């Protein structure tokens, strides 16, 4: 599936309505990516209640968000030799990590990660969250939305877990750390 990044204009949300193995997900997970003057804005949500990490707080870094419902995106440099994973809780908490190869953490680069702002609103009717990844953070990591590989993902319905991704999913166990399966985005 191709991922579109919009340049500072209002656009519709895209939907992921099938999980890793192709089963329909109702209601669908929705997301959008927008390239602004400040950086890369990621927005996600779903019209269903979410399981939220009990220690997650708006705007704060929180380990292991993926153990609960979470929105994610991955961005890699063009040759996919380095990538960033960003997790966003429905309440606006975040986690991020830089990898020098699939699942090989670059601790020094990861320590420099920061977000510009986050938001989150979760209720029994659903959730919406956003995260701004500043341009200077992307630049310091050698990541360019104009020349990258990208995947948008989500882990939902904790603790049973369903996995959604824009990447070309395989018949294997869910594994989002496959930059070889991520698409080059379309910039509008």
When computed from its CA atoms, the radius of gyration of the chain, rounded to whole angstroms, is: 15
Cβ atoms of 114 and 137 within 8 Å: the answer is yes
Residue 74: per-residue pLDDT = 97
CATH architecture of 4-187: Sandwich (2.60)
Percentage of the chain modeled with pLDDT above 90: 84
Residue 170: per-residue pLDDT = 66
Residue 1: per-residue pLDDT = 75
Residue 11: per-residue pLDDT = 79
CA distance 39 to 132: 6
Helix (H) or strand (E) holding 138: helix 135-140
Report the SS3 class of residue 59: coil
Sketch the domain layout of the chain as residue ranges: 4-187
CA distance 176 to 102: 9
Q: pLDDT per residue over 22-58, tens digit each?
A: 999 999 999 999 999 999 999 999 999 999 999 999 9
Residue 186: per-residue pLDDT = 87
**How does DSSP assign 156-181, residue by residue?**
ESTTT-EEEESS---SSS-----GGG
User: Which stretches in the chain have pLDDT values below 50?
Assistant: none
Residue 5 has φ and ψ, to the nearest 5°, of -110, 125
Residue 39: per-residue pLDDT = 96
């Amino acid at each position: 599936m191709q991922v579109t990044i919009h340049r500072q204009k209002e656009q519709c949300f895209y939907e992921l309505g099938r999980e890793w193995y192709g089963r329909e997900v109702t209601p669908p997970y929705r997301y959008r990516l927008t390239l602004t003057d400040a950086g890369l804005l990621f927005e996600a949500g779903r019209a269903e209640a979410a399981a939220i990490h009990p220690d997650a707080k708006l705007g704060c870094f929180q380990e292991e968000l993926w153990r609960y419902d979470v929105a994610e995106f991955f961005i890699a440099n063009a040759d996919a030799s380095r990538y960033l994973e960003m997790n966003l809780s429905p309440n606006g908490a975040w986690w991020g990590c830089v990898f020098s190869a699939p699942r090989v953490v670059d601790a020094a680069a990861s320590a420099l990660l920061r977000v510009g702002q986050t938001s989150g609103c979760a209720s029994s009717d659903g959730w919406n969250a956003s995260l701004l990844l500043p341009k200077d953070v992307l630049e310091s990591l050698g990541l360019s939305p104009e020349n990258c590989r990208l995947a948008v993902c989500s882990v939902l319905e904790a603790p049973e877990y369903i996995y959604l991704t824009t990447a070309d999913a395989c018949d294997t166990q869910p594994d989002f750390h496959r930059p070889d399966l991520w698409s080059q985005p379309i910039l509008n």
